[in-house]
Amino acid sequence: MTENSDIIEIRNGRSYPVNRKKLYAAFADPDRLAQWWGPHGFSNTIPVFDLRPGGMWFVTMTASNGTDFENRWTFEEVVEGKLVRAKHHEPVHVFTLEMQFSDEPDGSRLDWLMVFDRTEENEAIEKFLHAANEQNLERLETLLTSRRGDRK
């Protein structure tokens, strides 16, 4: 997390014992993405997922109490297997998410950067979002190391 007068940066990252192609596919395949996206306790429905610059992504995240959270994204930059940058639109928390996928000697790594305008509301949720991102990455690890993540 970086202090700056204009922006808030939230950084998370994790290494995985799978190759970069498999790591990237866990995001690029909306069926797999729906299995791990969001913090613990959420399920997802992804009716629109057009992974290309200018493409849209709609996801409804459903909390364990049944509350739905509609999310609308626009993909800004996509470099297959290496980079996805997307803009999250309102109704909540406008921000840019950048995911970088890289090789490591024993697998691959996902580095995750969220960039927000500095507002009181965004400052109030900064620590929560960092922790929620860690849960996202934990859920991804569970998918990648389980049999259901073995497809492709």
pLDDT in tens, 93-144: 899 999 999 999 999 999 999 999 999 988 988 889 999 999 999 999 999 9
What pairing do the DSSP bridges indicate for beta strands 107-117 and 83-88? unpaired
Q: When comparing pLDDT for 10 and 90, which is higher?
A: 10
CB atoms within 10 A of CB 117: 11
Q: pLDDT tens digits for 71-93?
A: 999 999 999 999 999 999 976 78
pLDDT band at 148 (very low <50, low <70, confident <90, very high): low
Compute the distance between CA of residue 115 and CA of residue 30 in angstroms, rounded to an integer: 23
State the number of CA atoms in the 13 A half-sphere of 4 facing the CB. 11
Give pLDDT, residue 103.
Answer: 98
Check pLDDT > 80 for residue 66: yes
Check pLDDT > 90 for residue 19: yes
Check pLDDT > 80 for residue 35: yes
Q: Which CATH number fits domain 7-146: 3.10.129.10, 3.40.50.150, 3.40.109.10, 3.30.530.20?
A: 3.30.530.20
Report the mean per-residue pLDDT for the chain. Answer: 92
